[in-house]
Amino acid sequence: MKLAQWLKSNDISAREFAARVKTTEATVSRLRNGRAQPSMELAQKIMTATGGAVTPNDFLDFSPSGQTGEDRLTGSRILLIIAGGIAAYKSLDLIRRLRERGANIRVILTRAGQEFVTPLSVGAIAGSAPYTDLFDTHTEFDVGHIRLARDSGAIVVAPATADLLAKMANGHASDLATAVILATNSPILLAPAMNPSMWAHAATQRNVSQLAADGLSVVGPNEGQMAEANEAGVGRMAEVPEIIAAVEGLLDPHGVKPLAGKHMIVTSGPTHEPIDPVRYIANRSSGKQGHAIAEAAARAGARVTLVSGPVQIPDPPGVDAVHVESAQEMLAAVQSALPADVGIFTAAVADWRTENQATQKMKKKNGIEEMSLSLVQNPDILKTISNAAERPEFVIGFAAETEKVIDSAKTKRRNKGCDWIVANDVGHARGVMGGEVNAVHLVTEREVEDWPEMTKDEVAERLIARLGDHLAQNKASA
């Protein structure tokens, strides 16, 4: 990964580099760890900013899940559904790249999709004419929608429009695309693409959460410039290599979703404890670690309720997000999300809150130089839930420590009553709070695993994989 090497050898943070190339820190970290591909425009900015050290070609051949993807795609049968969105032009490249890797592609082009790409161009690239109509007698004699649904190793919906997501979430079968989706047993990958306001709308978020809970996978959407002038935000369809990596994941014969059927509650971010209507007590937590865990859990098939304090980052795709301010609200939200199979308590909950919140803005008074706040202890959410009657089967806490990291974490694991503690070495690693990397130790009942410094996304992936293994072993030995 050229960009990662360049940033490291020049000691430039993702945040600083993001400012130089006028993108977000999250985008830079996804590019750095190989989870995204830049637009041509961004790739060129990166080339300029790195003095030519990182070129657009350095992003071309990346395969995030390693080299084995090629084998998985060879001979696979993929059904691509192209719905009506401007991003449909990228689907032509997706077909080309999938075929280059040996996949057999069939395409359903919806009526709206045909407004953006023609059946002729899709057919020329895919090697066979796309299917367009549910009641096409020729098609029904030839393959039929049930066979189309059953014959595919994976179904990819790219672009998945807001309208199609809404229909899918509600089980419609009014056209060929929705009928096939309803009739299939194959894994389905959605690559949503739409205007940022449409993506952010509660209805779309509800539909995506429902589809994730139904076991569908989601890739993207990404943040960036939209095709419409002056429109930017989260809504761009994932780039082709990201979609291909996600397809590889779907086709992985060993990639049975380890957390399918599980409900997981994840807390994330800081809490804000009000002092008066305009002031509050807070901390530097960004929510990156908790959000990454929620996203990794959703990818692993869990239905995820993310209870987040106030953060500047978007809700991860495919999770049910509940937004709260204070520790008391966070506890109430967690309690109302129970029952759950797993709880992961990543939030940096404020230990104290003001005893009495002023109803009016507190004013300076002439001649009075000092002022004090009376604080009372907040509920310990992790401890409360670990000892609740409705305790999830498995509970994981976090512990940020600067000294005697492991001893303190071991004690904390026992005192709080959780199963595992992930201990953050906040004294050792650079800028853990709010930063991109984390150096952690996993403290279990029997052992302590020292994990090397890695990105928060990598910590999340590893923790969820470790959890999946553990739950599978428990089940096997039960």
**Binding positions for ligand C5P, rule: CB under 6 A:** 267, 327, 345-347, 349, 351, 378, 380-382, 397-399, 412
Least spacing, CB of residue 281 vs ligand C5P, in Å: 13
Closest distance to ligand C5P from the beta carbon of 309 (Å): 10
At its nearest, how many Å lie between ligand C5P and the CB of residue 344?
8
Distance CA 107, CA 300 (A): 27
C-alpha pair distances (Å), 383 with each of 343, 362, 376, 388:
11, 34, 17, 8
Asked if residue 132 lies in contact with residue 142, where contact means CB atoms within 8 angstroms, the answer is: no
Query: In angstroms, what CA-CA distances link 104 with 20, 100, 179, 319?
Result: 41, 10, 21, 32
CA distance 129 to 474: 49
Angle, helix 240-251 to helix 88-100, in steps of 10 degrees = 50
Closest CB to ligand C5P among residues 237, 306: 306
Three-state secondary-structure class, residue 442: strand
CA dist., res. 304 & res. 337, Å (int): 10
Question: What is the rounded distance in angstroms from the CA atom of residue 47 to the CA atom of residue 3?
Answer: 10
Q: Which is nearer to ligand C5P, 72 or 412 (CB)?
A: 412
Assigned token pair, 212: 């994730």
Instruction: Give Cα 441 distance to the centre of its chain.
Output: 23
What is each CA distance from 407 to 52, 140, 421, in whole angstroms? 48, 67, 11
H or E stretch including 467? helix 456-477
Q: In this complex, which beta carbon is closest to ligand C5P, that of residue 238 or of residue 443? A: 443
Residue 155 and residue 246 in contact, taking contact as beta carbons nearer than 8 Å? no
Judge residue 462's burial from the number of C-beta atoms within 10 Å of its C-beta, 0-12 exposed, 13-18 middle, 19 or more buried: middle
Per DSSP, the residues of 182-196 read: HH--S-EEEEE---H
Q: How far is the CB of 294 from ligand C5P (least distance, A)?
A: 14
Q: Report whether 340 contacts 264 (CB < 8 A).
A: yes
Give the residue numbers marked as catalytic. Answer: 283
- Hey, what amino acid is at 134? L
Do 258 and 469 form a contact (C-beta atoms < 8 A)? Answer: yes
Fill in the amino acid letter for 354.
T
DSSP letter string, 153-187: SEEEEEEE-HHHHHHHHTT--SSHHHHHHHH--S-
* Position closest to ligand C5P via CB: 381
The three-class DSSP label of residue 356 is coil
**Residues facing residue 264 across a β-bridge:** 304, 342
The maximal CA–CA distance of the chain, rounded, in angstroms, is 91
